[in-house]
Amino acid sequence: MPVTLYMGPIRGGTDHIYRNAFNRHFSGFDLAMAPFINCINQNKITRKYVHGLLPENNTGMPVIPQILSKSAEGFLHMANYLSDLGYETINWNLGCPFPQVANKQRGSGLLPFPDKIREFLDTVIPAMRGQLTIKTRLGREHRDEIFSLLPVFNDYPLGDITIHPRTGRQMYTGTPDLDTFEACLKLTRHPVVYNGDIRTAADFNRLAERFSTPGECKISRWMIGRWALVDPFLPGVIKAGKDPLTGQEKIEKLKAFHDDLFEQYSRTLYGPSHITDRMKGLMVYFLTAFQNPHNALKKIKKTRTPEQYMAEVNHFFDSDARWGC
């Protein structure tokens, strides 16, 4: 069965500029799920509000918009607006673990309430112009919450369900609960997308082998989030089944990608602090792939202007960079 790779939605990371630049420099992802957009309490949605989802700003890989909402009416208003822009699939975020979201019963905060989820879907599904998918976790507090949710999801014609095998309380700590995830595969009638801690091609191969039976792979759809920011070569290596580049070649390609991003953000973000803050956030991920990056990261974080930032980054790539993945 062919493998489909999804770029995961990372707030402050995988926006439209990042997605388009990734597509120019790397390969492997078949589509991207955009970072969530909030519903707004007004009747008219402006193009400025959905700027990162406008089709003309997404010219690389196909994109699935994601909406964060506990209001069925607000979700429908936004989803149908996006459908009118040409999006055939919309994702509902039931996975966001951050307390400022979950404490308002949004994202993973809604998972302990299957009746509210059913009420939401009863309203949304008949009135949506596109197809609905869901991104979720095993639960907010407990991993077995998912077993009360899957029967609810089974009652609706969803496109697929992305499951991150952690609870919301875990955030991104601890290890994914693969046993509970595997149990979910037997209880859902929908295609499942696996999401969680695919750090290397070896990780992917182990998971693919685990979720297979002779002659059949139970999972064909896979989402890679944070670790594709760390190692943007990873999706291509998974698809190709080999890693043809040397460490030095990867350093050169990553530098070109970085410089492309810097140029694009310099054109679109206002003010030097916005540019440096966005790039510093990405460099935290990028530097994770290198050997002994701590001193370089300290120096980069101390920069205050784009010129200072680029001077430190150039010094790192020219003198200190040693690929570690």
pTM: 0.95
User: What pLDDT is stored for residue 2 in this prediction?
Assistant: 83
The neighbouring-strand residues paired with 195 are 223
The neighbouring-strand residues paired with 31 are 6
User: What pLDDT is stored for residue 44 in this prediction?
Assistant: 83
User: What pLDDT is stored for residue 324 in this prediction?
Assistant: 87
User: What pLDDT is stored for residue 72 in this prediction?
Assistant: 96
Spatial distance between the Cα atoms of 85 and 8, rounded to a whole number of angstroms: 22
For residue 215, is pLDDT > 80? no
For residue 43, is pLDDT > 80? no
And the tokens for 120? Answer: 């939401």
Q: Do 14 and 95 sit in the same domain of this protein?
A: yes
And the tokens for 242? Answer: 């080999």
Of 80, 62, 174, 173, give the one whose Cα is nearest residue 125: 80
User: What pLDDT is stored for residue 248 in this prediction?
Assistant: 95
Q: Do 277 and 186 sit in the same domain of this protein?
A: no
- pLDDT tens, position by position, 167-193: 999 999 999 999 999 999 999 999 999
Percent of the chain with pLDDT over 90: 93
User: What pLDDT is stored for residue 40 in this prediction?
Assistant: 80
- Is 195 a member of any domain? yes
Mean pLDDT, rounded, of the chain: 95
- Is 194 a member of any domain? yes
For residue 216, is pLDDT > 70? no
325: confidence class by pLDDT, cuts 50, 70, 90: confident
Rounded mean pLDDT of 265-293?
A: 95
Rounded mean pLDDT of 38-65?
A: 90
What is the rounded (10 degree) CA torsion for 148, 153, 154, 156? 150
* CATH number for the domain that contains residue 136: 3.20.20.70
218: confidence class by pLDDT, cuts 50, 70, 90: confident
Q: Do 54 and 150 sit in the same domain of this protein?
A: yes
Q: Which residues touch 133 (CB under 8 Å, ≥6 apart)?
A: 64, 89, 90, 91, 92, 158, 159, 160, 161, 162
For residue 113, is pLDDT > 60? yes
Rounded mean pLDDT of 235-239?
A: 97
Q: Do 228 and 251 sit in the same domain of this protein?
A: no
Q: Do 227 and 275 sit in the same domain of this protein?
A: no
Helix axes 178-185, 201-210, angle to 10 degrees: 50
Q: Do 256 and 147 sit in the same domain of this protein?
A: no
Spatial distance between the Cα atoms of 244 and 233, rounded to a whole number of angstroms: 10
Rounded mean pLDDT of 217-231?
A: 92
Q: Do 223 and 85 sit in the same domain of this protein?
A: yes
Rounded mean pLDDT of 194-202?
A: 96
- Is 325 a member of any domain? no
Assess contact for 147 and 136: CB atoms under 8 A.
no
More confident residue, 42 or 25: 25
The neighbouring-strand residues paired with 32 are 7, 63
| Number of domains into which the chain is organized | 2
321: left (phi over 0), alpha (psi -120 to 50) or beta: beta
For residue 12, is pLDDT > 60? yes
